[in-house]
Amino acid sequence: MSERHTAVCELKQTDFHEIGNLIDLYFKGKQGCLIQVLHTAQGLYGYLPLELQQYIADKLEMPLSEVSGVVTFYSFFSVHPRGEHTIRVCLGTACYVRGGKKIIDHLIQKLGVQVGGTTADRKYTFEIARCIGACGLAPALMIDDVVYRQMSPSKIDALLANLNKG
Amino acid sequence: MLHLTINGKPIEVPEGTTILEAARMNSIDIPSLCYLKDTNVVGSCRICVVEVKGAKTLQAACVTQVTEGMEIYTNSRIVRESRKVLYELILSDHDKDCLFCKRNQQCELQKLGVQLGVERSRFDDERSTRRVDASVSITRDLSKCILCRRCVSVCNQTQQTGVLNLQNRGFKTEVSPAMGLPLGAVNCTFCGQCTVVCPVGALRETSATERVWSALNDPTKRTVVQIAPAVRVAIGEEFGLAAGTRCTGKLASALKELGFDDVFDTNWAADLTIMEEGTEFLGRVKDALQGNPASLPMITSCSPGWIKYVEHHYPKHLEHLSSCKSPHTMMGAMVKSYYAQTLDIDPKDMFVVSVMPCTAKKFEIDRPEMRNSGLRNVDAVLTTRELAEMIHSAGIDFVSLKDSVFHNPLGFSTGAADIFGTTGGVMEAALRTVFELITGRTLPFANLHVESLVGLDQIKEAAIRIEDPLPQYGFLQGVEVRVAVTSGLAGAKLLMDQIRDGTSPYHFIEIMGCPGGCITGGGQPRSSDEQIRAKRMQALYDEDESKTIRKSHENPLVVKIYQEYLETPNGHRSHELLHTRYTARGMHNELTDEVFMVDVPQRAFAKAPLAQSLPRDIAFKRMDAQESSRLMALEAENAMLRGELAETQDTVAVFKRIIQERSAQQQP
């Protein structure tokens, strides 16, 4: 799963045969496959620009407006290029009362982007999440698929330093 | 049959009926907003909620099916209060600038508010998307959209074009093309069916009335107007006349009163179209029979929404379209050439207005193909609704107008032209002429109607065998001509898929973009009459039968124009003026750079002040009054208690004194 996030950065290609092949192989003609296709496509290309949505719409023979309707409905689909890593700070009730807001403020300052933004070097995309089900570890955040517990500004600095090294 | 009671009244309805239908069948009206019979049944607005005994919550009547023994209350206190709150919530994200809204007095939301008796709007604060997107044909005002989804249903199910859909989520939800792209830049066909179903002012035609008023007020302009066949059987509804009332004579009078210099009839050009299209068809058949390359089936090209659809969806099959312009652009071309020459005026000083049942015609006149000598064929298109608005605004009493006739030389028409406005009509008109040209005999059908092409079925077909043709058409002996007719883009897709797959059995196809044809086009009056198509259609057939000349090639003025000006159908001059070509656009406009957007001033949206409306103030005052009386009561109680306390303290002091005295006596 995490290798998906490394295959990112700006999508310049207009050749989408990879997802095209997958659609032909697994999805074509199956009712309700759109979300899976979009999920797979975002995994392959990192995000879902209009051109890619058009390609998928044509391939699945459905209206583009319906495809983009689904893409814009779910917050996990992105139409903008994303960072190499996605940081999601939990702002569920437990994390919120245990200082989730402070974590957010610190990250905004540290990364220099607002919530929902991607750093200029395309290293990080910064989002908030509703409860990730780790209330006992509050305040928690996720970097890609890994949950980090009981965060504080200093722990974040250490985490980011570690990631920047790697 | 199921048995149930509504408001205590026992009723019986078939299984599968919804509560709303059951109530309306039994003369009980449940207010509704998003519901549109057979089109939009999604229960999104919740206005039609009713109380069902035993159910935990109120049920939306439009989507809940009745069950045996159901007890329904449509007008209980909780239902009435809930509807009002629901209405206020819809209003909270709706522009309430009704006074200068195009739909003022014709707005379903406004009427609903009156029906529900809503007297306030408490939730005016933050607002969602507020942007105006205008294409040359259709304007979307998102600040007025109430997300009822009617347009989404009509665009996705009825027309199957899928241009409009819900985008984003929650408070940010909007009805838009993909990624919020402008309507003029996507594969919208501008059929305008969404503008017919929109209950509020969110979707409407892009207005041309101001430009037409300016031209009418400009003494240097020669203003020429023409009206399409379908307009004359629908415009009466805007003035309170019954659906299907024929208003041809009144329309001619009204247009003269508005101040147009020439009032012509698009029907005349429809007769001309039949001459051109019929000849083109015969040419293609001849080529095919002689083994030359020919694109059959040939498809009619009068409906610009259909044309744009095929340019987007089947860009590789444009050769099947007839090269004829649509009748009103033919008229425009003739006015600015032949008629200008007759009058000896510069066509630059002419302003041609078409009154059409159609929103796509507004796009059509903007196409670069619809120009001759650098001039637009037609300068402005008004929808039927817009013309009615102008007539109202000019203070003309339409209903009591005397009938008059169109001006000539471009105003006389045959019955064949009248039926151009309904599905099957163009084909029937073409067959009347083509059959007679080939055989010298009248089309062998009762009353000249090709029975199997009349009606509202999605796809209608007919086959006519040619026997004993005239000598010059000998090559057609024994040929069976197969024709098909459809209206609505869903039907068009079926026929085009056959053509794409090479399995189309037809030679000639008539396609109109709107279901029912122009009679229920995107620019026609909005109607709640379920029989509207049948009534308007019947009126057109009546109009046809009321005429003595009912075949296009017998129109003396069309014959004259060929003698005097055009020479021969499909001749050199016709090709220049009356024929056109098409543009491959592709599903996502990838094959062309053409877009059809217009700039509109975005309205300045001041943040709505928090509601401090009168009823609320009164409520506060009432609350203050209640508060003070409660305070007084409390104070009185307090005083009383203080008194009691003092008494008790006195008593305690007495007891203490007695105890002290006793103890003093016991210790002498």
Reported ipTM:
0.81
Pair B214, B324 in one domain? yes
Contacts of B490 by beta carbon, 8 Å cutoff, 6+ apart: B158, B159, B160, B458, B515
B134 is a domain residue: yes
Length of chain B, please?
668
Pair B123, B235 in one domain? no
Contacts of A14 by beta carbon, 8 Å cutoff, 6+ apart: A51
Give the chain A residue nearest B161 (alpha carbons). Answer: A63
Give the chain B residue nearest A69 (alpha carbons). Answer: B167
How many other CB atoms sit within 10 Å of the CB of residue B339? 21
Q: How far apart are alpha carbons B351 and B378 in whole angstroms?
A: 8
B632 is a domain residue: yes
B638 is a domain residue: yes
B386 is a domain residue: yes
Tokens of A105: 């403020």
Q: How far apart are alpha carbons B638 and B170 in whole angstroms?
A: 52
Chain A residues with beta carbon closer than 8 angstroms to that of B161: 63
Q: What is the pLDDT of residue B604?
A: 54
User: Do B311 and B186 meet the contact criterion of CB atoms below 8 Å apart?
Assistant: no
Nearest residue to B596 via CA among B182, B205, B304, B315:
B182
Q: What is the pLDDT of residue B658?
A: 87
B600 is a domain residue: no
DSSP string, chain A: -HHHHHS-S-------HHHHHHIIIIITT-TT-HHHHHHHHHHHHSS--HHHHHHHHHHHT--HHHHHHHHHHSTT--SS---SEEEEEE-SHHHIIIIIHHHHHHHHHHH---TT-B-TTS-EEEEEES--S-GGG-S-EEETTEEE-S--HHHHHHHHHHHHH-
Q: What is the pLDDT of residue B152?
A: 96
Give the chain B residue nearest A63 (alpha carbons). Answer: B162
Backbone region of residue B192 per phi and psi (left: phi > 0; alpha: psi in -120 to 50; beta: other values): left
Q: How close B423 gets to chain A, by Cα (Å)?
A: 27
CA atoms B501, B506, B508, B509: torsion sign? negative
Nearest CB among B156, B179, B587 relative to A68 is that of B179
Return the CATH number at B177: 3.30.70.20
Output DSSP code: residue B636: H
Pair B222, B194 in one domain? no
Judged by CB atoms within 8 Å, which residues 44-73 of A form the interface with B?
50, 53-54, 57-58, 62-69, 72-73
Residue that is written with structure tokens 């347009």 in the block = B151
Max distance between CA atoms of chain B, in angstroms, equals 159
Q: Three-state DSSP class for B344?
A: coil
Nearest residue to B144 via CA among B127, B166, B123, B156:
B127
Pair B82, B104 in one domain? no
Nearest CB among B167, B186, B588 relative to A69 is that of B167
Give the chain A residue nearest B182 (alpha carbons). Answer: A65
Q: How close B527 gets to chain A, by Cα (Å)?
A: 28
Q: Count CA atoms closer than 13 A to A94's CA, side-chain side.
A: 14
- Is the Cβ pair A62, B169 closer than 8 Å? no
Chain A residues with beta carbon closer than 8 angstroms to that of B165: 63, 65-66, 68-69
B310 is a domain residue: yes
Q: How close A71 gets to chain B, by Cα (Å)?
A: 8
Q: What is the pLDDT of residues B151-193, one digit of tens each?
A: 999 999 999 999 999 999 998 999 999 998 999 999 999 999 9
Nearest residue to B420 via CA among B275, B285, B325, B537:
B537
B597 is a domain residue: no
Tokens of B418: 């009248």
How many other CB atoms sit within 10 Å of the CB of residue B18? 20
Q: Answer with the one of B72, B91, B110 that is the final residue of a domain.
A: B91
Q: What is the pLDDT of residue B616?
A: 47
Pair B222, B362 in one domain? yes
- Phi and psi dihedrals of B474, rounded to 5? -50, -30
Containing structural domain, residue B159: 98-205
| B369 counts as catalytic | yes
What is the distance between the terminal CA atoms of chain A, rounded to a whole angstrom?
18
Q: How close B169 gets to chain A, by Cα (Å)?
A: 5
The strand pair at B138-141 and B203-205 is best described as: antiparallel
Pair B137, B192 in one domain? yes
Nearest CB among A66, A74, A79 relative to B162 is that of A66
Amino acid at site B394: A
Q: Which of B144, B361, B362, B535 is catalytic?
A: B361
Q: What is the pLDDT of residues B37-58, one digit of tens each?
A: 888 999 999 999 999 999 999 9
Chunked into runs of 10 residues, chain B (668 residues) has average pLDDT values of 93 93 93 91 93 94 94 94 94 90 92 93 82 93 93 94 94 92 93 95 94 95 95 94 93 94 94 93 90 89 95 94 95 94 93 96 94 93 95 95 92 91 92 90 81 83 88 87 92 94 92 93 90 91 90 91 90 92 92 85 52 45 60 81 87 88 79
- Counting as low any pLDDT under 70, the low residues of chain A are 1-14, 166
Q: What is the pLDDT of residue B608?
A: 41
Domain A85-165 has what CATH class? alpha beta
Neighbour-count burial of A22, counting CB atoms closer than 10 A to its CB (0-12 exposed, 13-18 middle, 19+ buried): middle
Q: Could you tell me which residues are beta bridge partners of residue B383?
A: B356
Q: How far apart are alpha carbons A110 and B475 in whole angstroms?
A: 84
Confirm or reject contact between B169 and chain A (CB < 8 A).
Answer: yes
B405 is a domain residue: no
Count of A-B CB contacts under 8 Å: 52
Helix (H) or strand (E) holding B268: helix B266-289
Q: How far apart are alpha carbons A81 and A47 in whole angstroms?
A: 6
Tokens of B413: 């028409």
Chain A residues with beta carbon closer than 8 angstroms to that of B147: none
Judged by CB atoms within 8 Å, which residues 572-611 of B form the interface with A?
587-588
Name the strands in the sheet holding B132-134, side by side, starting at the edge strand that comes first in the sequence: B132-134, B138-141, B203-205
Pair B374, B232 in one domain? yes
Pair B448, B571 in one domain? yes
Contacts of B453 by beta carbon, 8 Å cutoff, 6+ apart: B424, B427, B428, B460, B462, B483, B485
Confirm or reject contact between B167 and chain A (CB < 8 A).
Answer: yes
Sorted by where each begins, the domain ranges of chain A are: 2-73, 85-165
Pair B60, B115 in one domain? no
Pair B157, B249 in one domain? no
- Is the Cβ pair A53, B165 closer than 8 Å? no
Output DSSP code: residue B554: G
Q: What is the pLDDT of residue B628?
A: 67
- Is the Cβ pair A66, B165 closer than 8 Å? yes
**How many domains in chain B?**
4
Q: What is the pLDDT of residue B168?
A: 92
Q: What is the pLDDT of residue B629?
A: 67
Residue that is written with structure tokens 């009493």 in the block = B397
Pair B67, B131 in one domain? no
For B570-589, letters b (16+ CB in 10 Å) and e give beeebeebbbbebbebbbbb
